[in-house]
């Protein structure tokens, strides 16, 4: 039998199977033997590359190869400073990648740390405290409130035991535990006789037998899934890789063609090799990696201001490509704070406003009017909920927080909203009958302070409380015979809405009574004062954010470990589903073949009672359909799927360290609305990267074409290699990088997500690059020959050619600020960085042209004002031509959209 099947066995069979004794535990000699057999109770370290290998792998990228080649070539040409700059870009990019990868692998270390604790065990009949790493299968472990479960356990006995399993299963409230065996098909989240390593005991006590340790635990399975989850290439990474490979082929091809043409014309092989190298240097976009890194970093900073903390830079752009967001429910779409929303008293339902544990809000009657001070039946149901209660709420630096069970804390908040003074009320507890899962209620005996003879027995719990009652209270405070069918029908209506229903009842106690027993309560005679229904409510901003994502063409799916009815209710409130929508459970997923799952995952919006490996399976199924998947979550159970997703998103406030370390992005405010804001920023980042590429490529292609044309014509090179490096490096920094600061355009969220398979450069953009490249070739060649024909020196002619390149790049920069609109439509000064960059570039070109030291270093010469006039005319003409081409294409696109 698998160690995962112990839930279906009676306790005595588990004891026999594990060859242990639930009273005496294991003898020390047997413990040592099993420790040798099973190993320590720790999660194994997965094999990883050494730091050196991981650093070297950062260089395994086509674009890095191109840059390295550029650096080598530049060094061969004797330009040590320029070569150093290029190699610096290579090293900086590799260091950034190495650091980010190192942080990502910390997710596994965080998982390992979760099971480093101590355990109370019974061995040889004596209780002792040992390191949890020394536990072995068959050990008998004692659990108390506040203790972290040290291994997977099958309970032998329990007493009011509640375990918070939200980090593992997604269950929003602590789970009541018992030792009874369960059906074999019981889902992990419903195995009430089991406790899982890494979860937390919130109340009560229990004794359990260790059934799994280390890698064999459910936490160990998650550890394996996190380690096995593949690192998914981002859309940008894939596009840049493809683009780099194509660019490599083009550059090598152009250089080879130049070499062959020159040698066929009778030029020396040495001179042609130098010319071919110059052409290659000109065609390499040295500033591209720096532009990518800086643009992503700026996007990351913008997201941080909107509470989205980026842990891995490529995630900035990936968000803009997202087609599906798989969201956990508890703490992500909801507030992770139980809140009473409905109060039923004798066929009248009151509504409670406000959410969470902050005691603000109103109780509204059926007409929607606020109840200033609760009276009659409403006052009584709130009073019973507050008195029959072991929890309270505390105002801390982090806001109002529950101390005790979240369900009971919600009842305290509801009482305060109804005007009940919880801290200074006149009632004092005399005795209590604690809650037990087999009877499903808790009872207290309370005395009215100042009226010592007034005693009341109060009881709250599940629908089992109704069986204890023979009367029910009206809204006006009077009593009538109980309508059991009516009460149960009201409870069912509330439960069908995904609400957790708590029944409250009371009865007078005889004077002088100071004890309350199970038998006293079971004798009945209570008055049902009402029902309180609660839920973990949706975040107020979540519905708006979901709607914004849907308008942007992004599917939002809820994947939760909570119950199906609760999941459907929240999904309906958020606009993700309606009351008739299909909710697929973990059992349904188990029965679904892998071949059918991608279609099922595509068609379904709400998934409930989902196990960790099933979340991972759903993400993989959606990726198989070509989706770019974002997975949000806060628990340990979310970590494998978060790591597998194209963009993993963890909650910053309530998220576990495991989830945060596995994620690409952390939401500082735990707000789903922040995801929508991050997607908006991500789309803006990709747009700015595209703008930079569209801006920089014509320069590189134009430089290559000018050199190729000169080689083919057998004339003097219009631009030297060192001058090409000047153009590329200065314009990339002073002009191109300014596009990284471009504000996102207003329509960025009115478009569907980009097709992940669409190439980086579309046909429209390629034709624009070709247009500008052709204009650069014609303008530089024409002005170079013009100056030579009119008696200018070669140095002056080359200086003019260089300046016309820079001038066209400058005006083209304004064309590239938007790929569809003019700079006047987006605002001439809406990006002040562009204005500053242009000013810096003008100063650099003035120094390049007129300073003697620059003339010596770059083989340039001063040029007359008439040359500047010609350069200016050509630059303005280029801006007009590109702007006209953009306008005509937009007009044609608009016309096509209007046609039926």
Res 307 pLDDT > 70: yes
- Distance in angstroms (rounded) separating the CA atoms of residues 326 and 647: 10
Among 766, 681, 731, 752, residue whose Cα is nearest residue 840 = 731
Three-state SS across 500-516?
Answer: EEEEEEEEECCCCCCCC
pLDDT number for residue 107: 43
Element (DSSP H or E) covering residue 255: helix 235-264
Q: Considering the entire predicted model, what is its pTM?
A: 0.64
Q: Which of the two residues, 13 and 439, has the higher pLDDT score?
A: 13
User: What confidence tier does 234 reach under pLDDT thresholds 50, 70, 90?
Assistant: low
pLDDT number for residue 216: 86
Average pLDDT over residues 19-48: 85
Q: Which of the two residues, 384 and 673, has the higher pLDDT score?
A: 384
Least confident of 7-21, 358-372, 652-666: 652-666
pLDDT tens digits for range 514-559: 899 999 999 999 999 999 999 888 888 888 888 888 888 899 999 8
Q: Are strands 526-535 and 175-176 parallel, antiparallel or unpaired?
A: unpaired
pLDDT number for residue 440: 83
The structure tokens 């998650």 sit at: 222
Which residues fall within 8 angstroms of residue 747, CB to CB, at 6 or more apart? none
Which residues fall within 8 angstroms of residue 6, CB to CB, at 6 or more apart? 14, 17, 154, 194, 211
Average pLDDT, the chain: 82
- The H-assigned helical ranges of 23-165 are 28-38, 51-57, 62-76, 80-114
Res 569 pLDDT > 80: yes
DSSP reduced 3-state for 259:
helix
pLDDT tens digits for range 409-432: 999 999 999 988 888 888 999 999
Residue 668 structure tokens: 């500082």
Residue 888, Cα to own-chain centre: how many angstroms? 40
Residue 275 — φ and ψ, nearest 5°?
-65, -40
pLDDT tens digits for range 877-890: 999 998 888 888 77
Average pLDDT over residues 554-577: 85
Res 48 pLDDT > 60: no
pLDDT number for residue 881: 92
Among 695, 618, 733, residue whose Cα is nearest residue 290 = 733
Q: Which of the two residues, 455 and 470, has the higher pLDDT score?
A: 470
Kindly report the number of other CB atoms within 10 A of residue 673's CB atom.
21
Longest dimension (CA), the chain: 121
Res 314 pLDDT > 80: no
Residue 30 structure tokens: 């047997």
CA-to-CA dists, residue 863 to 580, 718, 817, 846, 851, angstroms? 77, 15, 31, 10, 12
Average pLDDT over residues 639-653: 82
Res 67 pLDDT > 70: no
- Distance in angstroms (rounded) separating the CA atoms of residues 607 and 721: 60
Among 745, 877, 863, 733, residue whose Cα is nearest residue 811 = 877
Helix 218-228 to helix 80-114 angle, to the nearest 10 degrees? 160
pLDDT tens digits for range 602-616: 999 999 888 767 888
Average pLDDT over residues 382-407: 85
CA-to-CA dists, residue 84 to 56, 96, 841, 858, angstroms? 19, 18, 22, 17
Kindly report the number of other CB atoms within 10 A of residue 464's CB atom.
13
DSSP reduced 3-state for 436:
strand
Average pLDDT over residues 352-365: 89
- Distance in angstroms (rounded) separating the CA atoms of residues 562 and 500: 12
Which residues fall within 8 angstroms of residue 613, CB to CB, at 6 or more apart? 221, 225, 640
Question: Catalytic pick from 139, 164, 328, 670?
Answer: 328
Percentage above 90 pLDDT, the chain:
32
- Distance in angstroms (rounded) separating the CA atoms of residues 18 and 631: 39
Residue 82 CA neighbour count, 13 Å, CB half: 27
Q: Say if residues 570 and 558 touch (Cβ distance below 8 Å).
A: yes
Average pLDDT over residues 87-98: 64
Three-state SS across 796-812?
Answer: HHHHHHHHHHHHHHHHH
Element (DSSP H or E) covering residue 445: strand 441-448
pLDDT number for residue 111: 41
Among 357, 469, 472, residue whose Cα is nearest residue 408 = 357
The structure tokens 């630059």 sit at: 875
pLDDT tens digits for range 821-867: 877 877 778 889 999 999 999 999 999 999 999 998 888 999 999 99
- Distance in angstroms (rounded) separating the CA atoms of residues 812 and 822: 11
Judged on CB neighbours under 10 Å (0-12, 13-18, 19+), 170 is buried
Residue 319 structure tokens: 């968000």
User: What confidence tier does 811 reach under pLDDT thresholds 50, 70, 90?
Assistant: very high
Among 107, 247, 39, 67, residue whose Cα is nearest residue 640 = 107
pLDDT tens digits for range 361-386: 999 998 889 987 889 999 999 999 99
Sign of CA dihedral 363, 369, 374, 376: negative
Q: Which of the two residues, 286 and 406, has the higher pLDDT score?
A: 406
Which residues fall within 8 angstroms of residue 125, CB to CB, at 6 or more apart? 23, 24, 25
Res 698 pLDDT > 80: yes
- Distance in angstroms (rounded) separating the CA atoms of residues 27 and 38: 16
pLDDT tens digits for range 107-165: 445 544 444 567 899 998 898 989 888 999 999 999 987 788 889 999 999 987 888 88
CA-to-CA dists, residue 748 to 140, 239, 320, 423, 897, angstroms? 59, 20, 10, 52, 18
Percentage above 70 pLDDT, the chain:
83
- Distance in angstroms (rounded) separating the CA atoms of residues 630 and 645: 6
Among 647, 646, 648, 654, residue whose Cα is nearest residue 671 = 654
User: What confidence tier does 241 reach under pLDDT thresholds 50, 70, 90?
Assistant: low
Q: Say if residues 354 and 361 touch (Cβ distance below 8 Å).
A: yes
pLDDT number for residue 102: 56
DSSP reduced 3-state for 625:
coil
Q: Say if residues 158 and 205 touch (Cβ distance below 8 Å).
A: yes
pLDDT tens digits for range 255-305: 788 788 888 877 777 677 767 766 766 666 766 666 776 777 777 777 778
DSSP 308-357: EEESSTHHHHHHHH--EEEE-IIIIIB-S--EEEEEEETTEEEEE---TT
Average pLDDT over residues 438-465: 86
Among 222, 107, 204, residue whose Cα is nearest residue 161 = 204
Task: Please name every residue paired with 555 in a beta bridge, in sequence order, or none if there are none.
Answer: 324
pLDDT number for residue 896: 54
Res 4 pLDDT > 70: no
CA-to-CA dists, residue 564 to 461, 495, 506, angstroms? 22, 11, 33
Res 655 pLDDT > 90: no
Residue 625, Cα to own-chain centre: how many angstroms? 20
Task: Please name every residue paired with 520 in a beta bridge, in sequence order, or none if there are none.
Answer: none
Res 106 pLDDT > 60: no
Res 870 pLDDT > 80: yes
Q: Are strands 175-176 and 629-633 parallel, antiparallel or unpaired?
A: unpaired
Residue 15 structure tokens: 């004891």
Annotated active-site residue 328? The verdict is yes
Which residues fall within 8 angstroms of residue 436, CB to CB, at 6 or more apart? 160
Element (DSSP H or E) covering residue 556: strand 555-559
> Which of 492-501, 566-575, 798-807, 828-837 is predicted most confidently?
798-807
The structure tokens 């006293």 sit at: 520
User: What confidence tier does 495 reach under pLDDT thresholds 50, 70, 90?
Assistant: confident
User: What confidence tier does 763 reach under pLDDT thresholds 50, 70, 90?
Assistant: confident
Average pLDDT over residues 751-760: 73
pLDDT number for residue 436: 74
pLDDT number for residue 104: 42
Average pLDDT over residues 156-182: 81
Q: Which of the two residues, 890 and 9, has the higher pLDDT score?
A: 9
pLDDT number for residue 809: 93
pLDDT number for residue 114: 44
């Amino acid at each position: 039998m698998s160690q995962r099947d112990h839930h279906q066995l009676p306790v005595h069979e588990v004891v026999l199977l594990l060859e242990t004794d639930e009273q005496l535990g294991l003898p020390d000699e047997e413990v040592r033997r099993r420790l040798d057999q099973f190993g320590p109770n720790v999660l194994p370290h997965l094999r990883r590359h050494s730091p050196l290998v991981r650093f070297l792998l950062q260089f395994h990228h086509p674009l890095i190869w191109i840059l390295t080649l550029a650096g080598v070539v530049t060094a061969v040409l004797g330009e040590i400073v320029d070569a150093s700059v290029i190699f610096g870009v290579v090293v900086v990019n590799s260091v950034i990648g190495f650091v980010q990868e190192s942080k990502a692998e910390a997710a596994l270390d965080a998982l390992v740390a979760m099971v480093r604790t101590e355990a109370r065990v019974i061995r040889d009949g004596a209780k002792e405290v040992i390191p949890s790493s020394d536990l072995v299968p068959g050990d008998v472990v004692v659990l108390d409130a506040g203790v972290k479960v040290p291994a997977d356990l099958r309970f032998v006995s329990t007493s009011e035991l509640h375990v918070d399993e939200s980090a593992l299963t997604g269950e929003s409230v602590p789970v009541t535990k018992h030792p009874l065996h369960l059906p074999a098909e019981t889902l992990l989240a419903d195995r009430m006789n089991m406790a899982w390593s890494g979860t937390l005991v919130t109340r009560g006590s229990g004794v359990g037998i260790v059934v799994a340790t280390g890698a064999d635990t459910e936490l160990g399975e998650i550890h394996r899934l996190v380690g096995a989850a593949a690192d998914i290439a981002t859309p940008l990474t894939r596009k840049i890789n493809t683009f780099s490979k194509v660019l490599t082929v083009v550059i090598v091809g152009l250089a080879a063609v130049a070499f062959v043409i020159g040698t066929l014309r009778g030029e020396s092989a040495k001179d042609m090799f130098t010319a071919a190298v110059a052409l290659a240097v000109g065609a390499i976009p040295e500033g591209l990696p720096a532009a990518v890194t800086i643009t992503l970093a700026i996007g990351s900073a913008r997201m941080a201001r909107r509470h989205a903390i980026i842990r891995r830079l490529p995630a900035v752009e990936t968000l803009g490509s997202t087609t599906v967001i798989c969201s956990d429910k508890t703490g992500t779409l909801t507030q992770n704070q139980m809140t009473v929303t409905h109060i039923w008293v004798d066929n009248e339902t009151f509504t409670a406003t406000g959410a969470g544990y902050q005691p603000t809000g109103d109780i509204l009657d059926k007409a929607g009017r606020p109840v200033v001070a609760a009276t009659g039946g409403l006052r009584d149901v709130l009073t019973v909920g507050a008195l029959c209660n072991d929890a309270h709420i505390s105002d801390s630096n982090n806001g109002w927080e529950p101390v005790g069970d979240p369900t009971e804390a919600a009842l305290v908040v509801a009482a305060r909203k109804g005007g009940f003074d919880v801290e200074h009320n006149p009632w004092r507890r005399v005795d209590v009958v604690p809650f037990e899962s087999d009877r499903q209620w808790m009872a207290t005996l309370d005395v009215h302070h100042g009226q010592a003879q007034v005693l009341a027995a109060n009881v709250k719990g599940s629908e089992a409380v109704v069986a204890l009652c023979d009367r029910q209270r009206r809204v006006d405070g009077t009593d009538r015979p109980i309508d059991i069918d009516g009460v149960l029908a009201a409870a069912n209506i509330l439960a069908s809405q995904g609400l957790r229903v708590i029944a409250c009842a009371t009865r007078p106690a005889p004077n002088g009574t100071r004890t309350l027993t199970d038998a006293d309560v079971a004798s009945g005679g209570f008055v049902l004062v009402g029902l309180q229904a609660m839920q973990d409510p949706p975040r107020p901003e979540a519905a708006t954010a979901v709607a914004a994502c849907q308008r942007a063409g992004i599917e939002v799916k809820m994947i939760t470990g909570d119950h199906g009815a609760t999941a459907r209710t929240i999904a309906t409130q958020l606009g993700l589903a309606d009351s008739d929508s299909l909710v697929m459970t973990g059992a349904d997923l188990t029965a679904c073949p892998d071949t059918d799952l991608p279609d099922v995952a595509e068609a379904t919006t709400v998934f409930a009672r989902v196990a960790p490996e099933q979340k991972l399976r759903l993400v993989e199924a959606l990726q198989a359909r070509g989706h770019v998947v974002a997975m949000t979550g806060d628990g340990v159970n979310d970590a494998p799927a978060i790591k597998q997703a194209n963009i993993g998103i963890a909650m910053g406030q309530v998220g576990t360290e495991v989830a945060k370390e596995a994620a690409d992005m952390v939401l500082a405010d735990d707000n789903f609305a922040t995801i929508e804001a991050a997607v908006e920023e991500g789309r803006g980042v990709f747009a700015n990267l595209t703008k930079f590429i569209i801006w920089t490529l014509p320069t590189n292609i134009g430089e290559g074409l000018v050199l190729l044309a000169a080689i083919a014509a057998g004339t003097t090179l219009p631009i030297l290699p060192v001058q090409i490096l000047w153009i590329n490096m200065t314009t990339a920094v002073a002009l191109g990088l300014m596009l990284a600061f471009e504000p996102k355009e207003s329509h960025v969220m009115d478009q569907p997500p980009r097709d992940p398979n669409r190439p980086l450069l579309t046909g429209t953009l390629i034709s624009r690059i070709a247009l500008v490249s052709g204009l650069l070739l014609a303008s530089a060649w024409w002005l170079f020959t013009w100056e030579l024909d009119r008696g200018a020196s070669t140095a002056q002619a080359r200086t003019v050619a260089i300046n016309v390149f820079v001038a066209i790049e400058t005006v083209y920069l304004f064309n590239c600020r938007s790929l569809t609109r003019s700079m006047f439509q987006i605002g001439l000064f809406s990006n002040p960085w562009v204005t500053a960059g242009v000013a810096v570039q003008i100063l650099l070109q003035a120094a390049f042209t007129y300073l003697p030291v620059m003339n010596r270093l770059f083989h340039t010469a001063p040029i007359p004002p008439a040359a500047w006039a010609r350069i200016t005319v050509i630059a303005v003409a280029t801006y007009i031509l590109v702007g006209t081409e953009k306008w005509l294409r937009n007009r044609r696109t608009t016309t096509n959209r209007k046609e039926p």
